[in-house]
Chains A and B, each alone.
Chain A
């Protein structure tokens, strides 16, 4: 198996992109779960679908068009959420269904509802191109870097928003940061596990990290460990068993989550 990684460039690219992207998803995911914002990843992935369709229709790199559309969608969800009269996840539900609607119309009208789109829906990390690998790694580093830079303030406002505000933490600006970063990680994760499973990368490793954590630091480190192990184990298993990489990575993450969950229940 190690031989395969050493020999095949496509496996190396998948592994490199996967490790960095999964790390960004895990770090951000811990904050999203504790903010009770787990569904935003799911909603934004459908917005990203519209972005991919735009890219395929007009001939841009779908990763970039999805990035632009998702970030715009994320800010839209935030604005709609803040306006009075909308409860809970209503804004997310509206944006995710409109995202799918736009995507399917664009794909149908432009006649591009084909294999390429299928790859974005279900993930096709083994087909990732060198340019996309570079871009993904750069963006993943950006996400982790911005979270690290604001770590204490994000933690404070997640734990006690009111006290954080009094301490001078710019909570609304940081809300926007988290939401935009969620959009970026969703687009990145889409390359690995596809639009339909991308929420899994944000939620499952973070949920696993939270199982046994006695501190916030250990929760983040645990989530990262689970994310990285899932990518490595998932890719190798997919190669050996000839299974789709995306589904195998998600199942590997779920398996690790299940083990940690049961361990906590017993311990």
Chain B
């Protein structure tokens, strides 16, 4: 069964991620129902939905951390279960900042553990590895704090270190799950500017999961709205005209059928 992309704007660039008719349940509770969407190279996709709408579950299905009941996921055209080049994907989990604050790791070590855990990197010389670590920390503006323990950094600084950890393998695709929870507004603003730079200057495709519609800002190019089913998937400008955003912002319940 072939699923067309949710809208016709994909052009002929190859989809990095293609989700086809995915359903998933925790026990008897249906979390995802027949979700299909594609993520193209260069997208900055905001995956929106209220708490408990299945956003995190969808990301985990895409990353092969959970196996869907029905449907399939393709990464770079290859089924997720058979995909091997995981260094092409960066991931900042929802609970990334929930680590034990006494964990003895410096910011540099946090970035290094991701780089040196990947198979592809074993071939790089030590000097090249150190360079990659420094470059990732510089990109997020954290190189001057490289030797400080991760637990003693501010929430915003920790987030930036986790971004550095996620991009140190030079991935083409970056997933961030609720990255600004518990971070003040000004820091959030700078954080989204950083993501915008990574998207435009570094050419990294970004998927940002959030329940906060307020973050859908100038950097986001596409929007997907999820509440068990996919309610909206398309360009940011169209999203603003569709009225779904006002519904979300108005705190109304999301309609559970597709528009």
Residue numbers in A under 8 Å from B95 (CB-CB): 162
> A residues within 8 A CB of B112?
152
Smallest Cβ distance from A208 to chain B, in angstroms? 12
Partner of A152, one of B86, B87, B100, B116: B116
Verify if A215 is at the interface (C-beta below 8 Å from B).
yes
Size bin of chain B's contact surface: 35 or more
**B98-118 interface with A by 8 A CB criterion:** 99-100, 102-106, 108-110, 112-114, 116-118
Q: A152-B116, A153-B117 known; A166 and B86 CB under 8 Å?
A: yes
Residues on B with beta carbons closer than 8 Å to the beta carbon of A217: 109
B165: Cβ under 8 A from any A Cβ: yes
Q: Does A156 contact B (CB under 8 A)?
A: yes
- Given A160-B96, A210-B102, A213-B104, A152 and B117 contact (CB-CB distance below 8 Å): yes
Smallest Cβ-Cβ distance to A166: which chain B residue: B91
Residue of B nearest to A162 (CB): B93
Residues of chain A in range 135-192 having any CB-CB distance to chain B below 8 Å: 152-153, 155-156, 159-160, 162-169
A216 within 8 A of B: yes
Q: Is the CB of B87 within 8 A of A167?
A: yes
> Considering residues B65, B106, B147, which has the most beta carbons from chain A within 10 angstroms of its beta carbon?
B106
Q: B104 and A215: CB pair below 8 A?
A: yes
Can you give 29 contacting A-B residue pairs, CB < 8 Å? A152-B112, A152-B117, A153-B116, A153-B117, A156-B114, A156-B117, A159-B105, A159-B113, A162-B91, A162-B95, A163-B92, A163-B114, A164-B117, A166-B63, A166-B64, A167-B91, A167-B169, A168-B84, A168-B86, A210-B104, A213-B149, A214-B104, A214-B147, A214-B149, A215-B104, A215-B105, A215-B149, A216-B105, A216-B109
Q: Which residues of B are at the interface with A, using a C-beta cutoff of 8 A?
A: 63-65, 84, 86-87, 89, 91-93, 95-96, 99-100, 102-106, 108-110, 112-114, 116-119, 147-149, 165-166, 169
